[in-house]
């Protein structure tokens, strides 16, 4: 099965909070990442969390990590139309030079 | 700031042509990666390299080859382009195995 899973679509109203969820399978992952991809562009790192943390907050972004359930979430407060993008969850395998493992991405649509 | 550049944003080629996609990073990163991105399939790893002249196959290497003659440059080669290689190609780089991957802006390739 997939190493990293996320739902494909999310639609929210402007000003509401968005919560994007992700599950991963490798309990030895040391870092977990959220990337944002705007239309026609590459992936931009939004934030990351080290596996010994439960929560990380950065302005409108809150990352929650439940290591027991291997569940990661990204909350965007006061969602704006500029937040419309694809959001990718990724995990870092703690072994050698292996690449990050990405989910398929969640397309967030913000309705004005 | 880390900068990863890709030689072209858009490229149109004909079936059977040899295609070169170039990627350059300016942060002395050891690891470099090539992905392709297709709707509904997320990011799929084609090849990666953890050192000069070293390469490893990713999940979908068929029809592609790579070259890493210098640390800062990682080239993706389509020996004989086919229409099913029409896609968005993303290059990334990182230092070490627990560090963030930084992405280029992507090359949208159309094979006619």
Residue-wise pLDDT for A21-43, tens only, equals 999 988 777 889 999 999 888 99
Average pLDDT of A87-93?
89
Q: How far B83 CA lies from chain A's nearest CA (Å)? A: 20
* 3-state SS string for chain A: CCCEEECCEEEEECCCCEEEEEEECCCCCCEEEEEEECCCCCEEEEEEEECCCCEEEECCEEEEEECCCCEEEEEECCCCHHHCEEEEEEECCCCCCCCCEECCCEEEEEEC
- In angstroms, the CA B13 to CA B22 distance is 15
B101 contacts on A by Cβ (under 8 Å): 45, 90, 99-100
Please give the structure tokens belonging to residue A15: 């000003």
**Does residue B63 contact residue B77 with C-beta atoms inside 8 Å?**
no
- A46 shares contact with chain B (CB less than 8 Å): no
For residue A73, pLDDT beyond 50: yes
Residue-wise pLDDT for A57-72, tens only, equals 999 999 999 999 999 9
Across chain A, what does the average pLDDT equal?
91
Please give the structure tokens belonging to residue B6: 């890709």
Average pLDDT of B10-24?
97
Tally Cβ neighbours within 10 Å of residue A30: 15
Average pLDDT of A80-97?
86
- A95 shares contact with chain B (CB less than 8 Å): yes
- In angstroms, the CA A44 to CA B71 distance is 22
B97 contacts on A by Cβ (under 8 Å): 92-98
Residue-wise pLDDT for B51-60, tens only, equals 999 999 999 9
pLDDT of residue B24: 97
Residue-wise pLDDT for B95-106, tens only, equals 876 678 899 999
pLDDT of residue A1: 46
- In angstroms, the CA B37 to CA A42 distance is 10
- In angstroms, the CA B77 to CA B75 distance is 6
pLDDT of residue B8: 92
pLDDT of residue A26: 80
The answer to whether B98 contacts A41, with C-beta atoms less than 8 Å apart, is: no
- B95 shares contact with chain A (CB less than 8 Å): no
B41 contacts on A by Cβ (under 8 Å): 104
Q: How far A24 CA lies from chain B's nearest CA (Å)? A: 15
- Residue B83 phi/psi, 5° resolution? -60, -30
Average pLDDT of B71-86?
97
The answer to whether B31 contacts A97, with C-beta atoms less than 8 Å apart, is: yes
pLDDT of residue A100: 87
């Amino acid at each position: 099965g997939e190493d990293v899973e996320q739902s494909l679509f999310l639609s929210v109203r402007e000003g509401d909070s968005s919560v994007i969820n992700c599950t991963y399978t490798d309990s030895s992952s040391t870092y977990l990442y959220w990337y944002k991809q705007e239309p026609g562009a590459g992936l931009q790192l939004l934030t990351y969390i080290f596996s010994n943390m439960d929560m990380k907050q950065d302005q409108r972004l809150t990352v929650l990590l439940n290591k027991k359930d291997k569940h990661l979430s990204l909350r965007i407060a006061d969602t704006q139309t500029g937040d419309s993008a694809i959001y990718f969850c990724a995990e870092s395998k703690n072994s050698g030079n292996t690449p990050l493992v990405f989910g398929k991405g969640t397309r967030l649509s913000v309705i004005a | 700031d880390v900068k990863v550049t890709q030689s072209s944003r858009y490229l149109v080629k004909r079936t059977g042509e040899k295609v070169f996609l170039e990627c350059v990073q300016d942060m002395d990163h050891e690891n470099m990666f090539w992905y392709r991105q297709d709707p509904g399939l997320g990011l799929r790893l084609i090849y990666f390299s953890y050192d000069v002249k070293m390469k490893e196959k990713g999940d979908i290497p068929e029809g592609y080859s790579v070259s890493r003659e210098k640390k800062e440059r990682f080239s993706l080669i389509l020996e004989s382009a086919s229409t099913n290689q029409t896609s968005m190609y993303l290059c990334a780089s990182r230092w070490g195995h627990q560090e963030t991957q930084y992405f280029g802006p992507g090359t949208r390739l159309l094979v006619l």
